[in-house]
Amino acid sequence: MRPPLDSKLLAEELALTPDLTLELLPESASTNQVAAERAREGAPDGLLVVADHQTAGRGRLDRTWETPAGAAVTFSLLLRPTVPATSWPWLPLLTGHTVAKALTSFGYEARVKWPNDVLIDGLKVAGILVERIETDSGPAAVVGVGINVSTTADELPVPTATSLVVAHPDLTPTREGVLLGTVAAVREGYDAWQVGGAEAAARLASSYVSHCATVGQDVRVDLPGGTSLSGRAVDVDSDGRLVVETPSGVEKVGAGDVVHVVPE
Ligand code: BT5
């Protein structure tokens, strides 16, 4: 049995960050679901819902996120963005980018697969699900992040997954350290983007593109309805769409329109 998260340590560390409020749950079906409920009840920006064990984690398109008890970091950060609606598609990309940055600061070579999977050695170590929730006080964003920390190779749910311990057994960050470091990176990246206007948006876009594993790759993009397009991913445009050069011309795909992006 793995130890539970150190609630005292988390409370103490987060008390130093006045723009975050911790709700630590020993067990939860989905932190995104809890954060969405809190948003509808009027919870303010900065609520951080953490599950020590998440039992029915959600992915995109009704997919699931599976993590054994005590092995992962699973949290949702409630934000109330004031950026124009056209900038919202950047929020999941920003999250993946800043999670990768946090993991890099711990010593891992983490990269983002467009739009927001975080990879180490080409395998998925973290998944992100950003949901827009309509509330009485305006739209809220629930930024959900799951990171495989001490999950062993046998416990990984799919062959395309990895964990921090599998990727680099010599580095042994704690779940508390990964959680605090990641949340701080997301919050900091978000705050800079949220208040920084066009200049911050351009800086984020160029930093994202230079750290994105997908740009420069030959890919097949699977679209809803069973169709797909193949070509070279060459850029991410100002709306966060992946720009793909196909034999029949340039196509731009938004994250919401994509089922899978597969390297070819
Ligand atoms: C995601 O979806 O990757 C988003 C995952 C978000 C999870 C967080 S945890 C906290 C918060 N609360 C929630 O309920 N969710 C968020 P998607 O891109 O659809 O990828 C899902 C796919 O990843 C699955 O179909 C599996 O193939 C794979 N997968 C499932 N569990 C995984 C894991 N632990 N590690 C790596 N891959 C996994």
How far away, in angstroms, is 46 Cα from ligand 1 center?
A: 22
Q: Where are the domains of the chain?
A: 7-211, 217-260
Residues whose CB is less than 8 angstroms from the CB of residue 257 and which lie 6 or more positions away in sequence, other chains included? 223, 224
- What confidence tens digit (pLDDT) does each residue in 124-163 have? 999 999 999 999 999 999 999 999 999 999 999 999 999 9
Q: With a 6 A CB cut-off, is 28 part of the ligand 1 pocket?
A: no
How many residues does the structure list for the chain?
264
CATH number of the structural domain 217-260: 2.30.30.100
Tell me, what's the pLDDT at 25? 98
Angle in degrees, CA 234, 209, 205, rounded to 5: 120
- What confidence tens digit (pLDDT) does each residue in 69-99 have? 999 999 999 999 999 989 999 999 999 999 9
φ, ψ for residue 191, nearest 5 deg:
-60, -45
225: alpha, beta or left? (left if phi > 0; alpha if psi -120 to 50)? left
Residue nearest atom 2 in ligand 1 by C-alpha distance: 59
User: Beta-carbon neighbour count of residue 95 at 10 Å?
Assistant: 29
Whether domain 7-211 has CATH 3.30.930.10: the reply is yes
Residue nearest atom 9 in ligand 1 by C-alpha distance: 146
Tell me, what's the pLDDT at 148? 98
Tokens found for residue 35: 């954060």
Q: With a 6 A CB cut-off, is 260 part of the ligand 1 pocket?
A: no
Q: With a 6 A CB cut-off, is 68 part of the ligand 1 pocket?
A: no
Angle in degrees, CA 17, 22, 23, rounded to 5: 175
- Distance CA(164)–CA(156), nearest Å, equals 11
How far away, in angstroms, is 66 Cα from ligand 1 center?
A: 7
Instruction: Give the number of the atom of ligand 1 that is nearest the alpha carbon of residue 32.
Output: 12
